[in-house]
Amino acid sequence: MKRLAVFASGTGTNFVAIAKACAEGVLDARVVLMVCDRPGAAVIDRALEMGVETFVFSPRDYASKADFEAQIVRLLDERKVDLVCLAGYMRIVGETLLGAYEGKIINIHPSLLPSFKGAHAVEDAVAYGVKVYGITIHWVNADLDGGRIIAQRAFPYEGSDPAEVHRIGQKIEHELYVETIKKLLCEL
């Protein structure tokens, strides 16, 4: 059984989808760690409810990104993590974590990359007048939202309400993330 870590900063609906798929045997894997950089984020209670170990930290308690990433790498190493799934982890991965885990880190992003990179992808796409939206899962490298694409799914939307795009997109995210992890697990 493969060992996953999920990193999140917010609500954690993708974390729940992944952890549930593991618990129900849809994925032959276990979430052995949930890493969160925002004390108080809703995802923390969700992890506790699901019995998943958490590492919650505040970046400002560390002298540098290299310092907190070194701590994360120690935790991932100790738990023998096979795959790191970023799920709304709103922080750029630095060279310490990439140095140790590049090729084993994937991210989900709410746009059809390479369009609309960054933290406000849906809002930016709506402002642009986009008519076809989508979700991307990609490998993480040193370029923000720039790693090789693993999976994408598009959906049409003609309105102008970012909240509605998020709602439609999130349902797709949960399915696509689990499907994609399932495929990757066979290759690990």
CB 46 within 8 A of CB 16: yes
Q: Which of 5, 6, 8, 126 binds ligand GAR (CB under 6 A)?
A: 8
108 forms beta bridges with: 137
Binding mask 91-120 for ligand GAR (x = CB under 6 A): -----------------xxx--------x-
Active site residue 120: no
Backbone φ, ψ for residue 56 (5° rounding): -110, 130
Residues in the chain: 188
Nearest to 144 by CA among 111, 179, 175, 185: 111
Nearest to 94 by CA among 62, 55, 126: 62
Q: At a CB cut-off of 8 Å and minimum separation 6, what does 77 contact?
A: 100
Q: Which is nearer to ligand GAR, 70 or 144 (CB)?
A: 144
- How far is the C-alpha of 154 from the C-alpha of 141, rounded, in Å? 23
Catalytic member of 109, 120, 138, 166: 109
Q: Which is nearer to ligand GAR, 9 or 71 (CB)?
A: 9
Q: Which of 173, 176, 181, 184 binds ligand GAR (CB under 6 A)?
A: 173
Question: In the bound complex, what is the minimum distance in angstroms from residue 122's beta carbon to ligand GAR?
Answer: 8
- How far is the C-alpha of 173 from the C-alpha of 64, rounded, in Å? 32
Span near ligand GAR by CB under 6 A; candidates 6-14, 27-35, 54-62, 151-159: 6-14
**165 lines the binding site for ligand GAR (CB under 6 A):** no
Window 32 to 91, contacts with ligand GAR (CB under 6 A): 87-88
Locate tokens 């310092």: which residue?
67
**10 lines the binding site for ligand GAR (CB under 6 A):** yes
- How far is the C-alpha of 9 from the C-alpha of 148, rounded, in Å? 23
**121 lines the binding site for ligand GAR (CB under 6 A):** yes
Known catalytic residues are 109
Residue ranges binding ligand GAR (CB under 6 A): 8, 10-14, 87-88, 108-110, 119, 121, 170, 173
